[in-house]
Structures are given as C-alpha cells and as structure tokens.
Structure 1
Amino acid sequence: MSNRAVLEVIALDVEDAVAARAGGADRLELVSDMAADGLTPTRETFAAIRAAVDIPLRVMLRAADGFSAGSAEEVDRLAAQARALRAEGAEEFVLGFLTPDGRPDLAAIEAVAGELAGCRWTFHRAVDRAADRDQLRKALADLPGLDTYLTAGAAGGVEEGIPVLVAEAARRGEPGYTAELMVGGGLALSHLPALRAAGITAFHIGGAARPSGWTHPVSAAAVDSWRTALS
C-alpha cells in the first residue's frame, strides 16, 4: 500500500460530491440527515452521485440516530435497503451496531453485512461507544469485507482519543487489527502531525469540509486544504 493518505469526505448530495472530488477527496461517505448523525441515503441519491463522480463511494447503512440496529423488523428493512443499493451498483458500505450494554450486536451486523456479498465496508464510530474496543475488534475480525474502522479513539472526539489511536495503529497486523484505521470525529488539521507520525494514513472529514456549517454544501477549497496538508 502506498503511503499517500486517503481522504474521505461526507457527501449528502451531488453538489457535495462534485465539490469534494474537485478538492481532492479520494472517497466519499454518502449519508442523509446529518441532524441524526448520518442515515442511509436513498437509492436515487446514490445513483445521482454515482453518475456525477468517478471516485469510490461508501454508503451508510443506518436507520436511526444512535448505535442500536433497532427491532428485528428494522434490521430486515436495513438489509432490504442494502440489497436495493447493491442492485443500484453500490460496492462499498458503512455500518456498525451495538447492544445496549456496548457490545457488538453480531446478529444485526451479520444480517446486514450478509447482504453485501463480500463488498468492502467500514465499521463506523460505534466502536468509540463500545464497552471494550479490543473485544469488539476481535469479535468482528473474521467478518467478510470489513476493511476499515472509522474512529476518533474516544466518544468525545479525536482530541481526546489520540493516545488510543496511536496505540491501535501500533498494533496493525495483530488479530483484530488488520483493518485500516480511518480517523474522523472532530478531526482538525492540528491533529495530523501526531497521527501521521503514528503511521495512520486514512482520514475522514464532515464539518471540516463545510466551513459555513452543515446547512451549506461542501467547500472544494476546504477539502483542498486538507488534501494539501496530507500530501
């Protein structure tokens, strides 16, 4: 793997996607409803963005705010959405569910990931709310397609999580630690030197790509400033 850093940007629509691509994003995370911290986008939104940009798209599979997968019916509905998005051409995804006591909800994770037919996917920031991060990683280690953990290292964000991120980066290759560590969640440019020094090569931004706030689209110039800092 080259040591060029991967920059992933959250996109809500075609305008976001085009701006992020123009600014130098390597990959997009497609979501809807950031008021609920990012839910599954519609099949139509995915199709429109897929037609507009030529970079990888990771599609969020999440039905409600929080990290619970919900009822069996809600898990079935999410699995159906995953099938529909696959049929539309989606090839990469983002998901992650916890039980109320902070353990990985393996039944829900396997039910949804089982629809992805081995497609690559990210376990998102639910890991930062896990009762035991190490136990979660080891429990998920053999799931097909899981290639990335999106994490801030702590529920409170990157500023608080840097020691955990550095420690986990040092374990790369151990059982449960073969997936890429992608850092996001309150990530600031000032965090990059310490994270890069730890060997971390994947970064995720949402609000940082929107200097005017979530009611405004992605700024290509803001994304470019991150691309430049990572180069």
Structure 2
Amino acid sequence: MSQRAVLEVIALDVEDAVAAQAGGADRLELVTDMAADGLTPTVATFAGIRAAVDIPLRVMLRLADGFAVGDVDRLVGMAGELRAAGAEEFVLGFLGPDGAVDLDAVERVVAALDGCRWTFHRAIDRAADRDALRKQLYGMPGLDTYLTAGAATGVEEGLPTLLAEARRGGEPGYEQTILVGGGLRLEHVAELRSAGIDAFHIGGAARPEGWGEPVSAGAVGEWRGVLGRG
C-alpha cells in the first residue's frame, strides 16, 4: 500500500477538469453525453481541457450508447483527429452481439492509435466471458488498463470478481492495471487496496449535486484523502 493510488475522474469540460485537478485527480477520462454512458468529446473540447490542466487525459472513443462499435471508419477518423490535436491516451471497448469482444473493431481502432496507451472500459462487465476477453486481447499494443466494476451492476456485486482478478495479476491477460469504477464507494476502498488494487475511477461521486452540476474539487479531495497523497 506504499504506492500512491491513481485517482481518475470523468471530466466533461474545462470547468470539470480544473476542479478535478485541484482536488487531487491524477488523470481525467474525457467524455461527452453521460446520458449515453459517455461518448467521444469534440477535438475542441479536448484541446480546451488539454490547455487548462497538466495531468494525463484519456479520451473516450465511442459513438453511441451500448457496446457495439457502430461506424468503425468514423471512429478511426476521430481517433486520428484527436491524435493530431495532441491526445496521447484513450478509452475504448467493443462487444459483438454474442457478448464476445469485437476483435476486428478493436484492432482497427488501436491501429489508428499508433502505440498510444489505452483502457478497455466497462464493456468487460457486459462480456459473455471475462477471462476469454482478456485472453483475446492479450498482447494488444498499448492496452495497459481495464476499467471494471467486476459486474454490470457495479462494484458492490462485482467485488469478489475484482479481488479474484487481482490475485491473477501477472498471468497472461491479467498484467494490466485494474481500474475500479462503476458504483464505487469510499467504503469499498480499504478492501480493494488490501488486495493490491491501486487505481480508482469516479464520475458521479465527484458530483455531489448530480450530473447537471460540475465536478466538485472538495469531493475529489475527499477521495484523494482516503486514497492517500503519498
């Protein structure tokens, strides 16, 4: 537990980003349209946030609600535009109708990232077989993180899965950082930390007044305090 835990906060705009950094966030996940569970922001939004803060930014690559890839060519084009604007880290994840990873779509989008680091997001929590998904993505360039609650319903139900996957760290397909998010609460942190998990992702928890209001630096700071500043 000596390693500083990573705190990633969802940011929709510059105001969110500045408040999250002030509260002690280590990284931001940039999205738009949380009603659709988070879609790709515009290049202008990315550029504004990049100019306003100096912590790492991971940009969502997702065109529509759900986990189907949709228009792959358009997504690849957007990834290229974001790369050209200076984006260096991304978030993505696509499933086919059978609940298996859409490997073709992932490979095409990742090729456009040209070695950038990226997170496979909570599509893993909707996958038919989590272990198979991880093994299919084994060796994928740039994949360094899985954002997961352990279950589609959230961390409360997914905790045993998260703890079990943490124990498998180092096995093929399990080398990536487990970034816990999705119904995460402060009372979950101690057990997760004791299992060696050291990366946490918050969205609604950073907005005590709801998604209609901006990120609260104070709320982020409370999480930073619980996770530690060392």
TM-score, with length taken from structure 2: 0.98
In structure 2, what is the equivalent of residue 187 of structure 1?
Answer: 184
- The answer to whether the aligner puts 1:118 opposite 2:126 as a matched pair is no
Give the C-alpha shift of residue 119 in structure 1.
Answer: 0.3
Give the one of 154, 162, 165 matched to 2:162: 165
- The answer to whether the aligner puts 1:220 opposite 2:220 as a matched pair is no
Count of aligned pairs between the two proteins: 228
Look up the SS of the partner of 2:210 in the other structure: coil
Look up the SS of the partner of 1:41 in the other structure: coil
Q: Distance in 1 between matches of 2:212 and 2:4?
A: 31
Look up the SS of the partner of 1:94 in the other structure: strand
Look up the SS of the partner of 1:49 in the other structure: helix
In structure 1, what is the equivalent of residue 197 of structure 2?
Answer: 200
Give the C-alpha shift of residue 30 in structure 1.
Answer: 0.1
Give the one of 78, 81, 89 matched to 2:75: 78
Equivalent residues in 2 for 1:94-113 (5 A)? 94-113=91-110
Query: Which whole-Å deviations, capped at 9, do the CAs of 1:35-76 have from their partners, x for residues lacking one?
Result: 000000000000000000000000000000010002xxx110
Equivalent residues in 2 for 1:146-157 (5 A)? 146-157=143-154
Q: Distance in 1 between matches of 2:60 and 2:113?
A: 12
Matched to 2:7, the amino acid is L
Q: Quote the RMSD (CA, aligned, Å).
A: 0.9
Runs ≥4 in structure 1, deviation > 3 angstroms? none
In structure 2, what is the equivalent of residue 129 of structure 1?
Answer: 126
- For structure 2, the 5+ residue unaligned runs are none
Matched to 2:10, the amino acid is I
Matched to 1:13, the amino acid is D
Look up the SS of the partner of 2:77 in the other structure: helix
- The answer to whether the aligner puts 1:18 opposite 2:18 as a matched pair is yes
Matched to 2:39, the amino acid is L
- The answer to whether the aligner puts 1:174 opposite 2:171 as a matched pair is yes
TM-score, with length taken from structure 1: 0.98
